[in-house]
Protein backbone atom coordinates (compact mmCIF):
# COMPACT_ATOMS: atom_id res chain seq x y z
CA UNK A 1 0.00 0.00 0.00
CA UNK A 2 1.22 3.50 -0.72
CA UNK A 3 0.06 7.11 -1.00
CA UNK A 4 0.50 9.11 -4.21
CA UNK A 5 -1.07 12.09 -5.93
CA UNK A 6 -3.82 11.15 -8.37
CA UNK A 7 -1.66 12.64 -11.11
CA UNK A 8 1.75 14.37 -11.04
CA UNK A 9 1.29 17.78 -9.50
CA UNK A 10 -2.31 17.22 -8.43
CA UNK A 11 -3.50 18.18 -4.98
CA UNK A 12 -5.99 15.33 -4.46
CA UNK A 13 -4.36 12.29 -2.85
CA UNK A 14 -5.00 8.67 -3.72
CA UNK A 15 -4.21 5.44 -1.99
CA UNK A 16 -3.01 2.42 -3.94
CA UNK A 17 -3.49 -0.97 -2.34
CA UNK A 18 -2.86 -4.44 -3.78
CA UNK A 19 -3.13 -8.03 -2.65
CA UNK A 20 -1.12 -11.22 -3.17
CA UNK A 21 -3.00 -11.91 -6.41
CA UNK A 22 -1.93 -8.57 -7.90
CA UNK A 23 -5.37 -6.92 -7.77
CA UNK A 24 -4.78 -3.16 -7.57
CA UNK A 25 -7.25 -0.75 -5.99
CA UNK A 26 -7.18 3.02 -6.25
CA UNK A 27 -8.95 4.64 -3.31
CA UNK A 28 -9.60 8.26 -2.43
CA UNK A 29 -7.31 8.78 0.56
CA UNK A 30 -9.66 11.27 2.23
CA UNK A 31 -13.07 9.61 1.78
CA UNK A 32 -12.19 5.96 1.20
CA UNK A 33 -14.27 5.88 -1.99
CA UNK A 34 -13.14 3.26 -4.48
CA UNK A 35 -12.08 4.90 -7.73
CA UNK A 36 -11.30 1.69 -9.59
CA UNK A 37 -10.19 -1.90 -9.18
CA UNK A 38 -7.99 -3.66 -11.72
CA UNK A 39 -8.15 -7.27 -12.77
CA UNK A 40 -5.50 -9.58 -11.35
CA UNK A 41 -2.19 -8.58 -12.88
CA UNK A 42 -0.07 -11.27 -11.25
CA UNK A 43 0.45 -13.25 -14.44
CA UNK A 44 1.25 -10.08 -16.35
CA UNK A 45 3.55 -8.32 -13.91
CA UNK A 46 5.47 -11.30 -12.53
CA UNK A 47 5.15 -13.39 -9.40
CA UNK A 48 5.29 -10.40 -7.07
CA UNK A 49 3.93 -6.85 -7.31
CA UNK A 50 6.61 -4.72 -5.67
CA UNK A 51 5.17 -1.25 -5.95
CA UNK A 52 2.45 0.91 -7.50
CA UNK A 53 3.19 4.53 -8.30
CA UNK A 54 2.03 7.39 -10.50
CA UNK A 55 3.85 8.49 -13.65
CA UNK A 56 2.84 10.21 -16.87
CA UNK A 57 3.33 10.20 -20.60
CA UNK A 58 3.08 13.34 -22.68
CA UNK A 59 -0.68 12.94 -22.84
CA UNK A 60 -2.01 11.16 -19.77
CA UNK A 61 -1.43 10.04 -16.19
CA UNK A 62 -0.42 6.42 -15.74
CA UNK A 63 -0.54 4.10 -12.73
CA UNK A 64 2.56 1.90 -12.88
CA UNK A 65 2.82 -1.48 -11.21
CA UNK A 66 6.40 -2.66 -10.74
CA UNK A 67 6.48 -6.44 -10.84
CA UNK A 68 9.56 -8.58 -10.39
CA UNK A 69 9.84 -9.22 -14.15
CA UNK A 70 7.46 -6.80 -15.89
CA UNK A 71 6.39 -3.18 -15.63
CA UNK A 72 2.61 -2.85 -16.00
CA UNK A 73 0.92 0.40 -17.05
CA UNK A 74 -2.72 1.17 -16.18
CA UNK A 75 -4.91 4.13 -17.04
CA UNK A 76 -4.91 6.33 -13.93
CA UNK A 77 -8.56 7.27 -14.45
CA UNK A 78 -10.11 3.87 -15.13
CA UNK A 79 -7.56 1.19 -14.20
CA UNK A 80 -7.66 -0.37 -17.67
CA UNK A 81 -4.43 -1.87 -18.96
CA UNK A 82 -2.36 0.31 -21.30
CA UNK A 83 0.68 -1.90 -21.83
CA UNK A 84 3.50 -3.84 -20.23
CA UNK A 85 7.26 -3.89 -20.68
CA UNK A 86 10.01 -6.24 -19.49
CA UNK A 87 12.89 -4.66 -17.57
CA UNK A 88 16.51 -4.29 -18.51
CA UNK A 89 17.35 -3.93 -14.79
CA UNK A 90 14.94 -5.61 -12.37
CA UNK A 91 13.80 -3.39 -9.46
CA UNK A 92 14.19 -4.45 -5.83
CA UNK A 93 13.17 -1.16 -4.18
CA UNK A 94 9.94 0.82 -4.29
CA UNK A 95 10.06 3.69 -6.76
CA UNK A 96 10.06 7.45 -6.31
CA UNK A 97 8.70 9.96 -8.77
CA UNK A 98 10.75 12.74 -10.35
CA UNK A 99 8.76 14.75 -12.87
CA UNK A 100 7.00 12.20 -15.07
CA UNK A 101 9.65 9.50 -14.49
CA UNK A 102 10.00 6.76 -11.89
CA UNK A 103 13.33 5.95 -10.23
CA UNK A 104 14.21 2.67 -8.52
CA UNK A 105 17.21 0.62 -7.41
CA UNK A 106 18.21 -2.78 -8.74
CA UNK A 107 19.79 -5.82 -7.14
CA UNK A 108 22.91 -5.30 -9.26
CA UNK A 109 23.34 -1.75 -7.94
CA UNK A 110 21.82 0.27 -10.78
CA UNK A 111 19.84 3.42 -10.06
CA UNK A 112 17.36 3.46 -12.93
CA UNK A 113 15.33 6.30 -14.43
CA UNK A 114 12.27 4.88 -16.22
CA UNK A 115 10.24 6.97 -18.64
CA UNK A 116 6.92 6.32 -20.36
CA UNK A 117 5.57 7.07 -23.82
CA UNK A 118 2.42 6.43 -25.85
CA UNK A 119 2.65 4.85 -29.30
CA UNK A 120 0.13 4.05 -32.00
CA UNK A 121 0.09 0.28 -32.49
CA UNK A 122 -1.68 -0.94 -35.67
CA UNK A 123 -3.72 -4.11 -35.47
CA UNK A 124 -4.44 -6.13 -38.62
CA UNK A 125 -7.88 -7.48 -39.58
CA UNK A 126 -7.42 -10.67 -41.62
CA UNK A 127 -9.35 -11.04 -44.88
CA UNK A 128 -10.76 -14.54 -45.25
CA UNK A 129 -11.68 -16.14 -48.59
CA UNK A 130 -15.24 -15.29 -49.52
CA UNK A 131 -15.37 -12.05 -47.50
CA UNK A 132 -17.05 -9.20 -49.29
CA UNK A 133 -14.53 -6.71 -47.95
CA UNK A 134 -12.35 -5.59 -50.83
CA UNK A 135 -9.30 -4.54 -48.79
CA UNK A 136 -7.64 -5.06 -45.43
CA UNK A 137 -8.71 -2.86 -42.55
CA UNK A 138 -6.17 -1.54 -40.05
CA UNK A 139 -7.16 -0.10 -36.69
CA UNK A 140 -4.64 1.80 -34.54
CA UNK A 141 -4.64 1.56 -30.77
CA UNK A 142 -2.61 3.64 -28.33
CA UNK A 143 -0.36 1.58 -26.07
CA UNK A 144 1.93 2.80 -23.30
CA UNK A 145 5.52 1.62 -23.18
CA UNK A 146 8.14 1.92 -20.42
CA UNK A 147 11.77 2.50 -21.27
CA UNK A 148 14.97 3.05 -19.30
CA UNK A 149 16.18 6.58 -19.87
CA UNK A 150 19.35 6.23 -17.82
CA UNK A 151 21.04 4.01 -15.24
CA UNK A 152 23.93 4.75 -12.87
CA UNK A 153 26.00 1.99 -11.29
CA UNK A 154 26.74 1.95 -7.55
CA UNK A 155 28.95 -0.48 -5.67
CA UNK A 156 26.99 -3.33 -4.13
CA UNK A 157 23.23 -3.70 -4.29
CA UNK A 158 20.61 -0.99 -3.77
CA UNK A 159 18.14 -2.24 -1.16
CA UNK A 160 17.15 1.11 0.38
CA UNK A 161 14.52 3.13 -1.44
CA UNK A 162 16.04 6.19 -3.20
CA UNK A 163 14.98 9.56 -1.84
CA UNK A 164 14.23 12.93 -3.42
CA UNK A 165 16.08 15.56 -1.38
CA UNK A 166 15.42 19.03 -2.74
CA UNK A 167 16.71 18.96 -6.32
CA UNK A 168 18.82 15.85 -5.66
CA UNK A 169 18.15 12.13 -6.04
CA UNK A 170 20.11 10.21 -3.38
CA UNK A 171 20.77 6.47 -3.48
CA UNK A 172 22.61 4.24 -0.98
CA UNK A 173 24.12 0.79 -1.45
CA UNK A 174 24.95 -2.27 0.61
CA UNK A 175 28.64 -1.51 -0.03
CA UNK A 176 28.33 1.78 1.90
CA UNK A 177 28.23 4.09 -1.10
CA UNK A 178 26.03 7.18 -1.06
CA UNK A 179 25.59 8.92 -4.42
CA UNK A 180 23.71 12.11 -5.19
CA UNK A 181 22.37 12.96 -8.64
CA UNK A 182 20.81 16.08 -10.07
CA UNK A 183 17.09 15.67 -10.67
CA UNK A 184 17.41 18.06 -13.61
CA UNK A 185 20.11 16.40 -15.74
CA UNK A 186 20.65 13.08 -13.89
CA UNK A 187 24.40 13.71 -13.53
CA UNK A 188 26.19 12.54 -10.40
CA UNK A 189 27.00 15.48 -8.10
CA UNK A 190 28.92 13.82 -5.26
CA UNK A 191 29.69 10.43 -3.81
CA UNK A 192 30.84 9.18 -0.41
CA UNK A 193 31.85 5.73 0.79
CA UNK A 194 31.23 4.54 4.35
CA UNK A 195 32.82 1.56 6.14
CA UNK A 196 29.46 -0.21 6.47
CA UNK A 197 26.55 -1.05 4.20
CA UNK A 198 23.25 0.83 4.05
CA UNK A 199 19.93 -1.01 3.85
CA UNK A 200 17.59 1.52 5.52
CA UNK A 201 15.92 4.30 3.55
CA UNK A 202 17.36 7.69 4.61
CA UNK A 203 15.22 10.51 5.95
CA UNK A 204 15.47 14.04 4.55
CA UNK A 205 13.98 17.50 4.76
CA UNK A 206 15.51 18.57 1.45
CA UNK A 207 18.57 20.17 3.03
CA UNK A 208 19.82 17.48 5.40
CA UNK A 209 20.06 13.73 4.88
CA UNK A 210 19.90 11.30 7.81
CA UNK A 211 21.57 7.96 7.03
CA UNK A 212 21.59 4.89 9.30
CA UNK A 213 24.58 2.68 8.49
CA UNK A 214 25.77 -0.78 9.48
CA UNK A 215 29.01 0.81 10.70
CA UNK A 216 26.96 1.78 13.80
CA UNK A 217 26.68 5.47 12.95
CA UNK A 218 23.69 7.68 12.29
CA UNK A 219 24.90 10.58 10.17
CA UNK A 220 23.44 13.96 9.30
CA UNK A 221 24.77 14.87 5.85
CA UNK A 222 24.52 18.09 3.87
CA UNK A 223 22.49 17.32 0.75
CA UNK A 224 24.24 19.81 -1.52
CA UNK A 225 27.87 19.02 -0.64
CA UNK A 226 27.78 15.56 0.90
CA UNK A 227 29.65 16.58 4.05
CA UNK A 228 28.84 15.22 7.49
CA UNK A 229 27.27 17.84 9.78
CA UNK A 230 27.15 15.53 12.81
CA UNK A 231 27.07 11.82 13.67
CA UNK A 232 26.01 9.56 16.51
CA UNK A 233 27.63 6.21 17.38
CA UNK A 234 25.92 3.26 19.02
CA UNK A 235 26.88 -0.31 19.93
CA UNK A 236 24.88 -2.03 17.17
CA UNK A 237 24.71 -1.93 13.36
CA UNK A 238 21.86 0.31 12.22
CA UNK A 239 19.39 -1.28 9.80
CA UNK A 240 16.09 0.45 10.65
CA UNK A 241 14.95 3.59 8.80
CA UNK A 242 15.14 6.92 10.65
CA UNK A 243 12.11 9.19 10.85
CA UNK A 244 12.59 12.95 10.62
CA UNK A 245 9.70 14.82 12.22
CA UNK A 246 10.17 18.46 13.08
CA UNK A 247 13.22 18.98 15.28
CA UNK A 248 13.66 15.28 16.05
CA UNK A 249 15.18 12.40 14.13
CA UNK A 250 14.23 9.01 15.59
CA UNK A 251 15.07 5.39 14.86
CA UNK A 252 14.81 1.95 16.42
CA UNK A 253 18.20 0.67 17.67
CA UNK A 254 18.89 -2.92 18.77
CA UNK A 255 19.22 -3.27 22.58
CA UNK A 256 18.44 0.43 23.11
CA UNK A 257 14.92 0.80 21.73
CA UNK A 258 13.63 4.00 20.18
CA UNK A 259 16.27 6.74 20.19
CA UNK A 260 15.56 10.43 19.53
CA UNK A 261 18.18 13.03 18.61
CA UNK A 262 18.11 16.73 17.85
CA UNK A 263 17.89 17.02 14.06
CA UNK A 264 19.53 20.46 13.90
CA UNK A 265 22.90 20.91 12.21
CA UNK A 266 24.43 22.96 15.03
CA UNK A 267 26.32 21.73 18.07
CA UNK A 268 29.50 20.09 16.80
CA UNK A 269 30.36 16.90 14.95
CA UNK A 270 29.09 14.44 17.59
CA UNK A 271 25.55 14.18 18.90
CA UNK A 272 23.98 12.61 21.99
CA UNK A 273 20.38 11.34 22.26
CA UNK A 274 17.69 13.51 23.80
CA UNK A 275 15.96 10.39 25.13
CA UNK A 276 15.67 6.63 24.73
CA UNK A 277 12.57 4.49 25.06
CA UNK A 278 12.37 0.71 25.38
CA UNK A 279 9.35 0.58 23.08
CA UNK A 280 9.66 -1.81 20.12
CA UNK A 281 8.92 -0.93 16.52
CA UNK A 282 9.63 1.85 14.05
CA UNK A 283 8.34 5.43 14.39
CA UNK A 284 5.91 6.31 11.59
CA UNK A 285 4.60 9.80 12.44
CA UNK A 286 4.77 12.51 15.09
CA UNK A 287 1.53 13.99 16.41
CA UNK A 288 0.80 16.72 18.94
CA UNK A 289 0.32 13.94 21.50
CA UNK A 290 3.64 12.23 20.77
CA UNK A 291 5.35 9.79 18.42
CA UNK A 292 3.37 6.90 16.93
CA UNK A 293 5.38 3.65 16.80
CA UNK A 294 4.32 0.52 14.94
CA UNK A 295 5.75 -2.88 15.85
CA UNK A 296 5.14 -5.21 12.92
CA UNK A 297 6.28 -8.34 14.78
CA UNK A 298 3.68 -8.02 17.56
CA UNK A 299 1.04 -5.91 15.73
CA UNK A 300 1.30 -3.29 18.47
CA UNK A 301 0.72 0.45 18.06
CA UNK A 302 2.30 2.69 20.71
CA UNK A 303 2.28 6.40 21.54
CA UNK A 304 5.53 7.77 22.97
CA UNK A 305 5.91 11.16 24.60
CA UNK A 306 8.20 13.16 22.31
CA UNK A 307 9.68 15.18 25.19
CA UNK A 308 10.63 12.33 27.55
CA UNK A 309 10.43 9.05 25.63
CA UNK A 310 7.88 7.66 28.11
CA UNK A 311 5.33 5.29 26.56
CA UNK A 312 1.96 6.90 27.05
CA UNK A 313 -0.14 4.10 25.58
CA UNK A 314 0.22 0.79 23.74
CA UNK A 315 -2.49 -1.13 22.00
CA UNK A 316 -2.37 -4.59 20.41
CA UNK A 317 -4.07 -4.82 17.02
CA UNK A 318 -4.15 -8.55 16.26
CA UNK A 319 -6.24 -8.17 13.11
CA UNK A 320 -3.92 -5.56 11.57
CA UNK A 321 -0.89 -6.61 9.53
CA UNK A 322 0.38 -3.17 8.53
CA UNK A 323 0.16 0.51 9.48
CA UNK A 324 1.33 3.47 7.42
CA UNK A 325 1.19 7.21 7.94
CA UNK A 326 0.42 9.77 5.27
CA UNK A 327 3.17 12.10 6.54
CA UNK A 328 6.07 12.06 8.99
CA UNK A 329 4.56 15.02 10.86
CA UNK A 330 0.85 15.09 11.82
CA UNK A 331 0.05 12.23 9.47
CA UNK A 332 -3.17 10.24 9.31
CA UNK A 333 -2.85 6.52 10.00
CA UNK A 334 -3.95 3.87 7.51
CA UNK A 335 -4.45 0.38 8.94
CA UNK A 336 -4.38 -2.71 6.71
CA UNK A 337 -6.45 -5.56 8.16
CA UNK A 338 -5.98 -9.24 7.49
CA UNK A 339 -9.54 -9.40 6.10
CA UNK A 340 -8.65 -6.95 3.32
CA UNK A 341 -10.03 -3.78 4.88
CA UNK A 342 -8.14 -0.47 4.89
CA UNK A 343 -9.07 1.93 7.70
CA UNK A 344 -8.11 5.58 8.04
CA UNK A 345 -7.59 7.00 11.54
CA UNK A 346 -7.24 10.76 11.95
CA UNK A 347 -5.44 12.00 15.10
CA UNK A 348 -7.51 13.71 17.80
CA UNK A 349 -5.74 16.41 19.79
CA UNK A 350 -5.50 15.61 23.49
CA UNK A 351 -3.69 17.25 26.39
CA UNK A 352 -0.43 15.68 27.51
CA UNK A 353 -0.70 13.63 30.68
CA UNK A 354 3.07 13.54 31.20
CA UNK A 355 4.76 16.82 32.20
CA UNK A 356 7.97 17.87 30.52
CA UNK A 357 11.11 16.96 32.50
CA UNK A 358 12.77 19.54 34.69
CA UNK A 359 16.25 20.86 33.95
CA UNK A 360 17.72 18.60 36.65
CA UNK A 361 15.94 15.51 35.25
CA UNK A 362 17.11 16.36 31.75
CA UNK A 363 20.71 16.71 32.93
CA UNK A 364 20.53 13.39 34.83
CA UNK A 365 19.07 11.63 31.78
CA UNK A 366 21.83 13.04 29.55
CA UNK A 367 24.54 11.82 31.95
CA UNK A 368 22.97 8.35 32.02
CA UNK A 369 22.93 8.22 28.25
CA UNK A 370 26.58 9.25 28.01
CA UNK A 371 27.63 6.44 30.30
CA UNK A 372 25.56 3.88 28.40
CA UNK A 373 26.65 4.80 24.87
CA UNK A 374 30.29 5.65 24.16
CA UNK A 375 32.06 6.36 20.91
CA UNK A 376 34.97 4.24 19.67
CA UNK A 377 38.50 5.52 20.05
CA UNK A 378 39.05 5.75 16.30
CA UNK A 379 36.75 7.18 13.67
CA UNK A 380 36.13 5.78 10.21
CA UNK A 381 38.75 6.23 7.53
CA UNK A 382 38.74 9.75 6.15
CA UNK A 383 39.44 8.97 2.52
CA UNK A 384 36.16 8.79 0.63
CA UNK A 385 33.94 9.07 3.72
CA UNK A 386 31.00 11.38 4.31
CA UNK A 387 33.40 13.81 5.99
CA UNK A 388 35.26 14.21 2.68
CA UNK A 389 32.91 13.48 -0.22
CA UNK A 390 34.30 12.73 -3.64
CA UNK A 391 33.11 15.27 -6.23
CA UNK A 392 32.21 13.84 -9.58
CA UNK A 393 34.10 14.79 -12.76
CA UNK A 394 32.20 16.40 -15.59
CA UNK A 395 32.11 13.12 -17.52
CA UNK A 396 30.56 10.33 -15.50
CA UNK A 397 31.95 6.94 -16.61
CA UNK A 398 29.49 5.04 -14.40
CA UNK A 399 26.50 5.79 -16.59
CA UNK A 400 25.27 2.84 -18.55
Please state the domain count of the chain.
Answer: 1
CATH of the domain at 72: 2.40.128.630
Q: Does residue 344 lie in a domain region?
A: no
Q: Does residue 66 lie in a domain region?
A: yes
Evaluate if residue 215 carries a pLDDT over 50.
yes
Evaluate if residue 2 carries a pLDDT over 80.
no
- The number of C-alpha atoms within 13 Å of 154 and in the hemisphere containing its C-beta is 34
254 neighbors 268 (Cβ within 8 angstroms) = no
- What confidence tier does 204 reach under pLDDT thresholds 50, 70, 90? very high
Q: Does residue 269 lie in a domain region?
A: no
293 neighbors 258 (Cβ within 8 angstroms) = yes
pLDDT, average across residues 64-93: 91
365 neighbors 377 (Cβ within 8 angstroms) = no
Q: Which SS3 state, helix, strand or coil, does residue 164 take?
A: strand
Query: In degrees rounded to 5, what are phi and psi of residue 240?
Result: -95, 145
Q: Does residue 212 lie in a domain region?
A: no
**What are the pLDDT digits (tens) for 15-42?**
888 877 778 889 888 888 999 998 766 5
Q: Does residue 219 lie in a domain region?
A: no
Task: Report d(CA 341, CA 358) in Å as an integer.
Answer: 44
Number of residues written out for the chain? 400
Q: Does residue 75 lie in a domain region?
A: yes
Which residue range forms the structural domain that includes residue 104? Answer: 1-123+139-148
Q: Does residue 117 lie in a domain region?
A: yes
Kindly give, in sequence order, each residue whose CB lies less than 8 Å from that of residue 87, ignoring residues fewer than 6 positions away. Answer: 69, 70, 71, 148
| Mean pLDDT lowest among 3-12, 110-119, 269-278, 346-355 | 3-12
pLDDT, average across residues 226-247: 96
Predicted model pTM: 0.82
Q: Does residue 40 lie in a domain region?
A: yes
Evaluate if residue 136 carries a pLDDT over 70.
no
Amino acid sequence: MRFEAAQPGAADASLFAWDDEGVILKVDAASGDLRWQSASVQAKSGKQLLDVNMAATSGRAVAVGLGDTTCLMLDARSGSELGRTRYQHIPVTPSIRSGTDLIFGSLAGHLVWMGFRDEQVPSRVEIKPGDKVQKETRVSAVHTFAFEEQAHQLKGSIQAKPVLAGDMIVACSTAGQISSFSSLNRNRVWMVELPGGIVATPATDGDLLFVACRDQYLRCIDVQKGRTKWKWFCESPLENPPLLAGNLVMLQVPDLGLVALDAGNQGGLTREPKWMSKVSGNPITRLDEGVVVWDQATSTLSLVDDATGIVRESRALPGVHGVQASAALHGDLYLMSSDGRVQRCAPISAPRSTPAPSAVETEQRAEAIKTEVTSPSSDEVTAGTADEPTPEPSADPSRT
